[in-house]
Amino acid sequence: MSPIASYRRLFELAGTTYVVIAFLARLPLAMSQLGTLLLVSEATGSYGLGGLSAGALAVANAVGAPFAGSLADRLGQRHVVLVQALAGAAALTALVALVHAGAADAAVVGAAALAGLTMPQVGPLARVRWRPITARSGAHQRRLVDTAFSYEGAVDEASFAVGPALIGLGVVLISPGGALLVAAGLLAVFGAAFALHPTARTGRRHGPLAGAGRLVTPVLVVLVLAELLIGAFFGATQTGTTVLATDAGQPGIAGLIHATLGVGSALAGVLTAFIPDHVGLERRILAAVAALLMLSLPLPLVDGPPTLVLVVAILGCAVAPFMIGVFTIAERVVDPARVATAMTVLASATGLGYAVGSSLAGRLADRAGYPAAFAVTVSAMTLALILVAASQRRLRAALAPAVRRERELVNA
């Protein structure tokens, strides 16, 4: 089955309505961090408090997501995501109300953390649904699942370009508070629709997980570390971009420059489905991380926004292939009863890595400017290349049973 035919078949199996809902449902998470930063900073005049609130939201979401994923494995996505969507929308609304009421700093930060804790990780949970959706595809299932993960990687990247853009538009047309309320509305409507869609039933596991395989394995540790490092890559790159744009007297274009990373990544994510099946997943992520390192080397040397746009756009083309490979390996090697937990753990690792990367890059940039921030990007990718290269044999061995099963299915 060709990649184009695979995409067509996927959308036929899931339905156009599901595809639209699953995309719109992940936008609020992409909107909330920047929205919180702008809301709190403008209302209080303190970028420190705004950054602390946005960071609290991001870290709380990263910490809470694996617990929600574990509940989804046990109870099914429908009930868990529905509660999360409604609670997250209410928490975002409460955050706006508290800020406008001049509440104490601790209350504002606490409300932001509560919003992050309750918001669902739609992207990882959507990945879990594709294997059951394609269950009756026979010998074509592996190709369809690989294509689905390529698609999910692309739309994740697109959401993190569209989400901040929507916040920016909302700030211009309404206000920071109004923009965040739009995110709350999207979460309440489309988050609930994602929870109630018939595909939510496909991921339900009946009974306890006592018979499920072990979640924490050496391979999952490698994948979590890989996502931590790609998260640090995101955080450091965004920080360096912001510092460079500010130094150039154009701080407002920082978000637009960073969005080009998502555009290149989204395009590459779609094209990942065209990689031949005989190229192993462990080799794919090795090639992708090597490209990330090589393409990030010019970052500390850029001399202005125009050059940075070009470098970041090209760099983005290696992001999605790496992340798609990591998530696909996890889906293949983790016990089916724990896939939702594994997906949310990986997403959480990315968020925590972002916080570490942005914090470290920010401190170094205060001392030595944007080149020092971009040096964190290069360092993170150097460590990621070492990690992935050293883990090739372990990853290949872990994937071997899944490869054998798929070959047997094809030959049956």
Per-residue pLDDT of the chain (412 residues; tens, 9 = 90+): 677 888 888 888 888 898 899 999 999 988 887 788 778 877 887 766 777 787 788 888 888 888 888 888 788 888 899 999 999 999 999 999 999 998 898 999 999 999 999 999 888 888 888 888 887 776 677 778 878 877 887 788 778 777 877 877 787 788 888 989 999 999 999 999 999 988 877 555 444 444 455 777 889 999 999 999 998 898 888 888 878 887 888 766 766 777 788 777 878 877 877 777 778 889 999 999 999 999 999 999 998 889 998 999 899 889 988 988 898 898 888 887 788 788 888 888 988 888 788 778 878 888 888 899 899 999 999 999 999 999 999 999 988 876 666 555 445 4
* Whole-number Å distance between alpha carbons of 93 and 35: 12
The answer to whether domain 1-206 and domain 208-412 are alike in fold is: yes
Domain 1-206 is classified in which CATH homologous superfamily?
MFS general substrate transporter like domains (1.20.1250.20)
DSSP codes, 19-86:
HHHHHHHHHHHHHHHHHHHHHHHHHHS-HHHHHHHHHHHHHHHHHHHHHHHHHHHHH-HHHHHHHHHH
Question: Burial level of 367, CB count in 10 A (0-12/13-18/19+)?
Answer: exposed
Would you report the helix, strand and coil content of the chain in percent, each value rounded to 5?
85, 0, 15
Listed in sequence order, the residues at least 6 apart from 48 whose beta carbon sits closer than 8 Å to its beta carbon are: none
Tokens at 48, concatenated: 């420190």
Neighbours of 210 (CB within 10 A): 6
* Whole-number Å distance between alpha carbons of 226 and 54: 24
Tokens at 86, concatenated: 């409604």
Task: Write the CATH number of the domain with boundaries 208-412.
Answer: 1.20.1250.20
One-letter identity of residue 29 = L
Question: Burial level of 280, CB count in 10 A (0-12/13-18/19+)?
Answer: middle
User: Locate tokens 């061995």: which residue?
Assistant: 397
CA neighbours closer than 13 Å in the CB half-sphere of residue 187: 31
Tokens at 347, concatenated: 């997403």
* Whole-number Å distance between alpha carbons of 137 and 13: 10
Neighbours of 90 (CB within 10 A): 16
* pTM confidence score: 0.79
Domain extent listing, the chain: 1-206, 208-412
Contact 155, 194 (CB under 8 A): no
